[in-house]
Structure 1
Amino acid sequence: MGDSPPRELIRLADDEGNSVTVNVLGRNVRWAAGLDAEIVVKTPFVSGRIDLALYVSKLKSWASALDRLDAGEDVAWMEMSRGPSIVIQLTGERDCPEVVVEDESGSMVTVRVPLVPPDDWIADHRQRLHRVMDYWVPMLSG
């Protein structure tokens, strides 16, 4: 585990400078069962970030999303909750994978980021998820 808490839950990036990351910032001071996090979008054209609350059920649903992606299915993560959502389309509008970050309940902005992640990206993200859960879940209550 190391001395420092794991920060990156999701890091989808390519050689063109496009990336979507979900960073865990730490425990939520107002809600003992939650983590403060952020979604960060960076492209040569547009960049932005939005706050995100994570809790154990969202982390577990990310594990299910990774299983569906591994089976060749597109996924929508956090689509039914308040706040932003992330949609991963394995074959997007430009015939390559796309990550769509939507914030319908807040800013009403949607950003579509085409990118080609490395071949082992699903296994890498399973490891990232396990590190985050191993470190943070024992500290969360509720």
Structure 2
Amino acid sequence: MGDIVARELISLADDEGNSVTVSVLGRHPSWSAGLEAEIVVRTPFVSGRIDLALSTSKLESWATALNRLDIGEDVVWMEWDRGPSVSIQLLGERGCPEVVVEDESGSMVTVRVPLAPPDDWIADHRQRLHQVMNHWVPMLSA
């Protein structure tokens, strides 16, 4: 698999121009057990990005979140960590899934992005997670 695939942990987009991505940028420059990453939100109305540090435990908690989504439960990923959190509500306020990116500890800004992902998006994201874990985790120190 290409390196580009191993960089995109989350890529949710629709044909209305709304998207939320979480991309791995590389090993964290000052934390040997972490990865430098970013969350990017793009909509026709608002766009933004925020830095994110990912650990093996955060990647494992994303696997748990995908399992919960697969059985029809809403999730909040990284809720108790310092830094941003990502919520996925399968049936949001507008009758379609919504991704909510919250930066409670930094800018105190919350962005709610309604989008309609493809039917196989959970399986696709399990594959993305698998690729990220295989590519990046062996490079991290415990």
User: What interval of TM-score do these two structures reach, taking the shorter chain for normalisation?
Assistant: over 0.9
Q: Which amino acid aligns with 2:31?
A: W
Offset at residue 109 of structure 1 (A): 0.1
Match of 1:122 in 2: 122
- Aligned-pair Cα RMSD in Å: 1.1
Give the TM-score normalised by structure 1: 0.97
Structure 1 counterpart of 2:80: 80
1:88-107 paired onto structure 2 within 5 Å: 88-107=88-107
Question: Would the aligned equivalents of 1:32 and 1:140 in 2 still touch at CA under 8 Å?
Answer: yes
Please report how far the alpha carbon of residue 5 of structure 1 lies from its aligned counterpart in structure 2 after TM superposition.
Answer: 7.0
Counterparts of 1:132 and 1:24, CA distance in 2: 8
Identity %: 80
How far did residue 92 of structure 1 move? 0.4
Per the alignment, residue 37 of structure 1 pairs with 37
SS at match of 1:6: helix
What is the rounded CA distance, in whole Å, between the counterparts of 1:79 and 1:30 in structure 2?
23
Classify 1:3/1:13 alpha carbon distance in 2 versus 1 (closer, same or farther; 3 Å): closer
**Alpha-carbon distance in 2 for matches of 1:81, 1:37:** 15
Q: Would the aligned equivalents of 2:77 and 2:87 in 1 still touch at CA under 8 Å?
A: yes
Quick one: which amino acid aligns to residue 132 of structure 1? V
The 8 Å contact of residues 5 and 135 in structure 1, kept in 2 or not, is answered as no
Gaps of 5+ in 1: none
1:37-76 equivalent positions in 2, closer than 5 A: 37-76=37-76
| 2:6 counterpart SS class | coil
1:122 positional shift: 0.2
Which amino acid in the other structure matches residue 30 of structure 2? Answer: R
* 1:119-139 deviations in Å (ceiling 9; x for gaps): 000000000000000001111
1:29 Cα deviation from its structure 2 partner: 1.6
- Within 1, Cα distance between the matches of 2:121 and 2:47? 22
Aligned mates of 2:58, 2:130 — CA distance in 1: 13
Shift of 1:3: 5.6
Moved over 2 A (4+): 1-5
Kindly tell me the number of residue pairs found equivalent between the two proteins. 142
Aligned to 1:135: 135
Give a deviation string over 1:67-90, Cα, whole Å, max 9, x none: 000000000000010000000000
